[in-house]
Amino acid sequence: MPTFGRLVGAICFGALAWYVSLLIMPLFPEGTNLGWFQELNTAIGLFVGWKVAGPRAGTGYVSAISYGLTTLVALVVMGLFFNSFFVMIELSLRKRYDGAGEAVTDVFALFIEHGMMMATPEIISTLLVGGLVGGLVTEFFGRRFT
């Protein structure tokens, strides 16, 4: 059921994903075609904000910190997985893999590679602060308009 807490959670974590995507884009090698990178991450942020943070709105400000960080972890894991999956699909269409097993295992190698690439102090601090603020803002509006 749609609630204001779900809406605010989706907006907060969608905006966080959009901004962090902007921070990550310069870290890719020159000439990398990122395609729908920013849009995909924003959609994932909207989804996890709606499904993870939104339903927990109204449970208290201490809980807001907890579900803000939980939503943040879900956002990062899903974002890394889906982006790695789409890179694997792109590489498999170029016949870079000998079989399906190699392609599937490469998803996890790409997951680790992209995770290491985004593990900069600027991105990590932005994610942590954004997750905390996103949880607190979701809680604030979830309490006010329930």
For the stretch 101-144, pLDDT in tens is 899 999 999 999 999 999 999 999 999 999 999 999 999 998 88
DSSP-assigned letters across all residues of 78-127: HHHHHHHHHHHHHHHHTT--SSHHHHHHHHHHHHHHHHHHT--HHHHHHH
What is the extent of the structural domain holding 106?
A: 4-25+33-144
Q: What type of residue is 31?
A: G
Q: Tell me how many domains the chain contains.
A: 1
Element (H, E) at 27: none
More confident residue, 127 or 146: 127
- Structure confidence at residue 85 (pLDDT): 94
What CA–CA distance (Å, rounded) separates 46 from 53? 10
12, 53 contact by CB (below 8 A): yes
Are 14 and 42 in contact by the 8 Å Cβ rule? The answer is yes
Q: pLDDT tens for residues 34-74?
A: 889 999 999 999 999 999 998 898 889 999 999 999 999 99
pLDDT at position 33 is 83
For the record, the structure tokens of 55 come out as 């339903």
pLDDT at 46: 97
Which of 63, 70, 42 is closest to 142 using CA atoms?
Answer: 63
Residue 146 pLDDT more than 80? Answer: no
Residue 95, pLDDT above cutoff 80? yes
Output the pTM of the full model: 0.91
Per-residue pLDDT at 35? 85
Kindly tell me if the per-residue pLDDT of 97 is higher than 80.
yes
Give me the pLDDT at residue 48, please: 97
Tokens representing residue 128 in the block: 């942590």
pLDDT for res 58: 84
**Tens-digit pLDDT profile for residues 2-43:** 889 999 999 999 999 999 999 999 998 888 888 899 999 999
Give the number of other CB atoms < 10 A from CB of residue 34.
Answer: 13
